[in-house]
Amino acid sequence: MKPSSALNACGAARLAPGGAAAASRPVAADGAAWLKVDPRAIARAAAIALAAALVAACSGPPPAEKPPRVVLVKPFAAERGEAARHVYSGEVRARFETDLAFRIGGKVVERRVEVGTAVRRGDVIARLDPEDVRLAASAVAAQVAAAEAEAALARAEFERSEGLRAANFISASALDARRTALAAAEARLRQARAQAAAARNQADYATLAAEHDGVVTAVHAEAGQVVTAGAPVVRVTRGAEREILIHVPEGRLQDYAVGSPAAVRLWANGTELYPARVREVAPAADAATRSYALRVSVGDAALPLGATASVALPSPAGAAAVLPLTAVTRADGRPVVWVVDAASRVQPQPVEIGAIREDGVEIRGGLAAGASVVQVGAHRLIGGERVRPVAADAPIALDITR
């Protein structure tokens, strides 16, 4: 076989799908080798190439690395400035409050005031149905008239008996009987007149009037309601002095006394601080909440009645620092906070907590001063995660890269 024929046969064997069988196919007699290629092999190769190209075209770019999570941090040492106070929420009240009530029972037919109405001394607040008291006054007036008639008759009979006794027509005992009857009749007359005066007062009591200038802060009865004697109808404040009513737990009652300094801040106006003092400490606990009521006086400060306020009272010496409730979580059954290290990675730090207060959680130990503590979102962090710390008191900045 010629060298060219051998070469063509080897190439055909590599390209043909049949391998050696394809190389055994006949060639031209003149020795010129004609390469025989199976069309199906070409089609399969083209399909494979096309699929590879489509897969490469559909595949997106490799995913970009996620930016580090932004966390709000605050140095732990900054919390110790507020650790010397306990904060309680309370309601603004007037120093003097009076519950006005009818002295008699009856049906309320009219109420002229609403919550917030300013009243003057003598202004009519409410009225009862006067029909019953009017009838009672008429009955007592009739009793007075009858008692006056009886007293006049007893007096006339006594005077006649005196004349008869002077003429010795009756005995001394008969005169004494007339004298006793006159005294009894006069006593019944005085009794009837006193009952008549009381009945007139009862008629006046059907009208409830303000006893002093003030503002109505509560309404307890409506028109058509039947009330008993002494049942509160409205509450009226007196004077401009204001105070905050708060409740403290039994375990802290010994820390406060009358005259203790305090600071008051309204929820509606958190920028202004009002100096105050404890005016009254309840001697007994509330039956429902088992807490003790404290009244904190703010003097004549123009605080709106019923507003919500925070009262900061001094804590005993050695009180713990405070962290927000959102900064403390639990891991492996222990309370932990998340601290950002120098490499901007967060690590859980076990701490010892104290009481849970309205303004946060007391930290008794386990945390070094100056540690950068994550303030919000501690439950979403992972140990060793890289973060981007932002100071909690930093001004808000717009992230234009997002």
Region 155-177: mean pLDDT is 89
Q: What are the phi and psi torsion angles at 265 (to 5°)?
A: -135, 130
Task: Tell me which residue of 126, 103, 96, 127 sits closest to 113, measured CA to CA.
Answer: 126
Average pLDDT, the chain: 81
List, for residues 46-68, the tens digit of each pLDDT value: 778 777 666 555 655 666 667 88
The answer to whether residue 269 scores a pLDDT higher than 70 is yes
The whole-angstrom separation of Cα 322 and Cα 340 is 18
What pLDDT does residue 316 have? 65
The whole-angstrom separation of Cα 56 and Cα 69 is 33
Residue 365 contacts by C-beta under 8 Å, 6 or more apart in sequence? 351, 352
Going by the DSSP 8-state scheme, the letter that residue 61 receives in this structure is: P
CATH hierarchy code of domain 131-205: 1.10.287
Residues 323 and 365 sit within 8 Å (Cβ to Cβ): no
The whole-angstrom separation of Cα 309 and Cα 198 is 47
More confident of the two residues 214 and 78: 214
Neighbours of 367 (CB within 10 A): 20
Which of 10-24, 125-139, 278-292 is predicted least confidently?
A: 10-24
The answer to whether residue 17 scores a pLDDT higher than 70 is no
The answer to whether residue 12 scores a pLDDT higher than 60 is no
Region 371-396: mean pLDDT is 83
DSSP class per residue in 216-263: EEEE---TT-EE-TT-EEEEEEEEEEEEEEEEE-GGGGGG--TT-EEE
Neighbours of 332 (CB within 10 A): 7
The whole-angstrom separation of Cα 128 and Cα 227 is 9
| Domain 70-82+320-391 is found in CATH 3.90.950.10 | no
CATH hierarchy code of domain 98-126+210-232: 2.40.50.100
Q: Which CATH superfamily is domain 85-96+239-314 in?
A: Efflux pump adaptor protein, beta barrel domain (2.40.30.170)
List, for residues 293-305, the tens digit of each pLDDT value: 999 999 888 888 8
Region 386-402: mean pLDDT is 71
The answer to whether residue 11 scores a pLDDT higher than 60 is no
List, for residues 303-362, the tens digit of each pLDDT value: 888 899 999 888 765 556 788 888 888 888 899 999 999 888 988 999 988 777 767 888
More confident of the two residues 185 and 239: 185
What pLDDT does residue 398 have? 53
Amino acid at 30: D
Does pTM surpass 0.85? no
What pLDDT does residue 23 have? 40
The answer to whether residue 37 scores a pLDDT higher than 90 is no
The answer to whether residue 188 scores a pLDDT higher than 60 is yes
Q: 209: pLDDT confidence band, cut at 50, 70 and 90? A: very high
Region 238-246: mean pLDDT is 90
What pLDDT does residue 320 have? 65
Q: 15: pLDDT confidence band, cut at 50, 70 and 90? A: very low
The whole-angstrom separation of Cα 130 and Cα 121 is 22
Region 176-202: mean pLDDT is 90
The answer to whether residue 5 scores a pLDDT higher than 80 is no
Region 207-213: mean pLDDT is 92
Task: Tell me which residue of 145, 143, 147 sits closest to 186, measured CA to CA.
Answer: 147
Neighbours of 342 (CB within 10 A): 6
What pLDDT does residue 25 have? 46
Going from N- to C-terminal start, the domains of the chain cover 3-58, 70-82+320-391, 85-96+239-314, 98-126+210-232, 131-205
